[in-house]
Amino acid sequence: MLQEKFKNAKTHNEVTALMESFQSAVAAGKEKQEGWPSAAYATSKAGVTSMTRCIAEDLKAKGSKTLVNACCPGYVRVRPLS
């Protein structure tokens, strides 16, 4: 269901709303109950991919021939900020 929501998002605002919904679910400790993946990386990658598609479609609608790409690297271990 969430995968379809990201796939069907047509505007920057729709993608932003999805990402804010995820952020709120995590803050409330309810991400699993609301159907979000257990890894924030998967959600952030879906957000970046969807936003990239929206930007490309916006530019195309304006007549631009700009190629829009996104780079989603693999898992990177980071130290916690302390």
Cα–Cα–Cα angle for 35, 20, 70, rounded to 5 degrees = 90
Cα–Cα distance list, 16 to 70, 71, 77, 80 (Å): 17, 19, 25, 25
On whether the CB atoms of residues 53 and 14 are closer than 8 A, the answer is no
Catalytic option among 2, 5, 25, 41 = 41
75 is annotated as an active-site residue: no
Q: Which residues are catalytic, by number?
A: 41
